[in-house]
Chain A
Amino acid sequence: MIEREQLKKNRLFGEFSDQEIDMVRVVADEGAFEDGRLIIAEGSPGERLYFIASGKCSVTAEISGAGTEEIKLMEAGDFFGEMSLIESAPVSASVYARGPCHLLWIDRKAFARLIAEDMPIANKLLKAIILTFCERIRDTAAKIESYYKMSKF
């Protein structure tokens, strides 16, 4: 089973008690990914919420007329894959291992069960995802401003 400390380091579980972390440990899984390995493919149905325990992951997207571009680099403590689990929509970007990395994950069914079965856990988890979404929306909006300026040169 995954070590408690590994999960505690992730921003999603910062407010979790040891007992709550243990409930997550029961349903979480883990694995190592070598450099360049595709973890999630853009357009595919997302089936897992991933947490980066160590290493880095590159988020890439198909840009019209330009091919594949890296739009974000994520590191230990970050998570991804949650949008597809929440919306049941296809994955909006691909994620690759950038160097060797170690990931933890919760699959769709286990995520749904966690949220449905324990209200305090569910609310903490949802609030943490919401705060991360807020940050991502702000970052993306700020990038629009800089890209707009760059596009004028």
Chain B
Amino acid sequence: MEEKIKILERCDLFRRLPPEALAAAAERCEGRAAKEGEVILVEGKPADAIYILATGKVDCIKQVEEKRGLVVSRWQAGAAFGLSSVMDGQEQYVSVVAKTPVKYLKLPVVDFWAVCAEDPHYEHGVYRQTLLIQSVALRQVTVRLREFLAKIIK
């Protein structure tokens, strides 16, 4: 339990939450591991949980052809992913694949919202951090988009 709390404390998404909220979230998290190359989240399917990366790196890969994907962003320990899908209830826009062996926590969607619902301040803290995380994600995909646009124009 303590280890889970420490992982959550290091996670961007939960940084603004007080100790009691972290403990409530930690209680609901499952610890998982994935090998290099293992797919953790699949593009086109809704995320079933918020994933919190404890160690290692993951790539966010957008499928562009039947057997070809492009890395649009890379996350490391402390990152949370599956966030956009959990927030709007739609499918994942990228697959998330372990770049290295990884350890992560999985907080099911229902439990994530249950923690947020316990106190409007928790919800507020999560929303503020979500915006920062999404802002970075949007900048990363925009950079990739500009690269392709430059290629086309040239």
Contacts and interface: CB of A to CB of B under 8 A. Distances in A.
Contacts of A119: 120-121, 124
A122 interface: yes
Interface size class of B (residues with CB under 8 A): 35 or more
A86 B132 contact: yes
Contacts of A148: 64-65, 70, 148
Interface residues of A, number: 38
Given A63-B149, A147-B152, A126 B131 contact: yes
Interface string A53-71: 0000000010111100101
A144 B141 contact: yes
A38 interface: no
Contacts of A65: 150, 153-154
A39 B152 CA distance: 28
Contact of B90 (A138, A145, A147, A150): A138
Contacts of B136: 87
A143 B144 CA distance: 10
A106 B88 CA distance: 25
B93 A137 contact: yes
A144 B132 contact: no
Interface of B: 62-65, 70, 72, 84, 87-88, 90, 93-94, 120-121, 123-124, 127-128, 130-132, 134-139, 141-142, 144-154
Interface of A: 61, 63-66, 69, 71, 83, 86-87, 89, 92, 119-120, 122-123, 126-127, 129-131, 133-138, 140-145, 147-151
Given A83-B138, A130-B88, A141-B94, 8 more contacts: A61-B142, A131-B87, A134-B90, A137-B137, A140-B145, A143-B145, A144-B64, A148-B148
